[in-house]
Amino acid sequence: MSESSEPPAAKAGARGGQFSDLGPRIGSAAALIATAVVALYVGGDAFALFWLLAGFAVSWEWQSIVGGKMALARFALGGASLAGATAFAAHGGGPAALASLVFFSAILAILAGPGRRLWAPAGLLYAGSLIVSTNVLRHSSDYGALSIAWLFAVVWGTDVMAYFGGRLIGGPKLWPRVSPGKTWSGTLVGVASGALAGVGVVYLSRWSAAATLPLFFVGIVAAALAQAGDLFESWIKRRFGVKDSSRLIPGHGGVMDRVDGFIFASAFAAMLGGLRGQESLAAGIFIW
């Protein structure tokens, strides 16, 4: 093919090289980050609504991916369950929110029919864990806002630096059958960078009594789980032969493609906070 007949997209890809997708990614990411930060700052109903909408999108994408019977009814019922879980979790009712999700998951299993009785309810629990963990952490009166800001720093720092680290360093693939583009170098750079970014946010806040070293190691675990969440979502898509969870976000695919790591990291943070026995869930992350 001569140069004059080469498609414009191919030319752009050749010129852009390994960073040819960076423009759309930056634009979409900037809009999402700005919305998430504003919701965190405003708090209250705005924060709960932001994560409820994210949960709706994740639930819809999951049910669309796995297929099965009565997908629309499953999404509608799951949406009602997510709304109820949000109402509970936003006011500190984490156990009630989880109980509600488990109850409705059983109904989704019945509706989905053979072959999807595990997959359909798993999607509701997946989306619900995002809503419950973010809201119960934010509800903490002392470190609520800081816990979400810390999660933003850890997960976004991991995601960004894994992208650049993998493309600049390269090397062996982490799990090529599931995620062909993810490398060991990018993953390790991303995990370390995310943990450091989390420590940096806490330090700049001047609000936490957290010891730096324990918080760094907590950040390492959260960042590693964020990468595991990304792999999990890639595995789900490959399992059902889907490239993107949807096309809701230009340059990024679907909402699941953006919050997969955050779901794992926020669930870990909420569980850790609950196990530590501090004054609140969020305090359990920072007080050592």
Q: Which amino acid is at 178?
A: V
Confidence class for position 51, pLDDT limits 50, 70, 90: very high
Q: Comparing C-alpha atoms, which of 264, 272, 156, 129 is closest to residue 210?
A: 272
Residue 7 has pLDDT above 50, yes or no: no
Residue 2 has pLDDT above 90, yes or no: no
Buried b (16+ CB within 10 A) or exposed e, 208-241: bebeeeebbebbbbbbbbbbbbbbbbbebbeeee
Output the CA–CA distances (angstroms, integers) from residue 1 to 6, 7, 268, in the order listed. 6, 10, 52
DSSP run (H or E) holding 38: helix 22-42
Residue 144, CA atoms < 13 Å, CB-side half-sphere:
21
Residues above pLDDT 70, as percent of the chain: 89
Residue 4 has pLDDT above 60, yes or no: no
Average pLDDT over residues 63-71: 90
User: In terms of pLDDT, which residue wins out, 36 or 30?
Assistant: 36
CB atoms within 10 A of CB 58: 30
DSSP run (H or E) holding 66: helix 44-66
Q: Any alpha helices (H) in 139-183, and if so which ranges?
A: 144-169
Helix (H, G, I), strand (E, B) or coil at 283: helix
Output the CA–CA distances (angstroms, integers) from residue 39 to 90, 115, 257, in the order listed. 13, 38, 20
Q: How far apart are CA 199 and CA 218, in angstroms?
A: 10
Neighbour-count burial of 27, counting CB atoms closer than 10 A to its CB (0-12 exposed, 13-18 middle, 19+ buried): middle
What is the pLDDT at residue 1? 41
What is the pLDDT at residue 105? 95
Q: How far apart are CA 214 and CA 82, in angstroms?
A: 34
Helix (H, G, I), strand (E, B) or coil at 206: coil
Q: Which amino acid is at 141?
A: S
End-to-end CA distance of the chain: 63
Residue 27 has pLDDT above 90, yes or no: no
What is the rounded average pLDDT for all residues in the chain?
Answer: 88
| The token pair that represents 173 in the structure block | 């693939």
Output the CA–CA distances (angstroms, integers) from residue 251 to 28, 67, 181, 185, 255, in the order listed. 7, 24, 16, 23, 11
What is the pLDDT at residue 141? 84
Q: Range with the lowest mean pLDDT among 32-41, 86-95, 208-217?
A: 208-217
Q: Range with the lowest mean pLDDT among 19-33, 123-137, 155-169, 251-265?
A: 19-33
User: In terms of pLDDT, which residue wins out, 175 or 209?
Assistant: 175
The answer for residues whose C-beta is within 8 angstroms of residue 266's C-beta and 6 or more apart is 129, 130, 133, 134, 137, 151
| The token pair that represents 100 in the structure block | 């509600």
| The token pair that represents 77 in the structure block | 């019922």
What is the pLDDT at residue 251? 59
